[in-house]
Amino acid sequence: MTATSVGIATVLLASTFSPAKAQNPAHVEQLLQTRQCSRCDLSRSNLAGANLRYANLAGANLEGANFFGADLRYANLSGANLKGANLRGTNLYNAEATQSPIGSSLSQFSRFAPSLAGI
């Protein structure tokens, strides 16, 4: 195997394991400080246990984000992409999630009675 072949193989291997798209760190910081992050890119973010009560996440990209045990009571998730998000143990009491394409199981937090009309 030549040096060129090894270099190409290394680049291909590295790109295989790199995420195609990840969160914007500035958006994560903005959300945690202000709870205002509509249309933000928070994909694949680790927000486990975060206090996001009354957060505005309307239209945000939350694909693959980890919200395990987070407090999203009264949060605005309208139009947010929740595909593949981990919502186990998340408190979504009175959260608004209309027009959100949810690809994750809602059974894990149904006891919190979120407002999921129109999904």
83 part of a folded domain: yes
Task: Write the CATH number for 119.
Answer: 2.160.20.80
Cβ neighbour number for residue 86 with a 10 Å cutoff: 20
28 part of a folded domain: yes
pLDDT value at position 7?
Answer: 42
DSSP letters, 36-85, are B-TT-B-TT-B-TT-B-TT-B-TT-B-TT-B-TT-B-TT-B-TT-B-TT-
| Number of folded domains that form the chain | 1
31 part of a folded domain: yes
7 part of a folded domain: no
66 part of a folded domain: yes
> Whole-model pTM?
0.70
* Cα→Cα distances 98→7, 53, 88, 105, 117, Å: 48, 17, 19, 16, 6
pLDDT value at position 104?
Answer: 44
16 part of a folded domain: no
- Containing 15, the helix (H) or strand (E) segment is helix 3-17
pLDDT value at position 29?
Answer: 96
* Containing structural domain, residue 31: 23-119
Task: Going residue by residue through the chain, which has 119 residues, state the pLDDT in tens, using 9 for 90 and above.
Answer: 555 443 444 433 343 333 445 689 999 999 999 999 999 999 999 999 999 999 999 999 999 999 999 999 999 999 999 999 999 999 999 998 887 766 443 444 444 444 444 44
84 part of a folded domain: yes
Burial class (CB in 10 A: 0-12, 13-18, 19+), 75: buried
45 part of a folded domain: yes
Cβ neighbour number for residue 3 with a 10 Å cutoff: 7
User: Residue 35 — left, alpha, or beta (φ > 0 → left; ψ -120 to 50 → alpha)?
Assistant: left
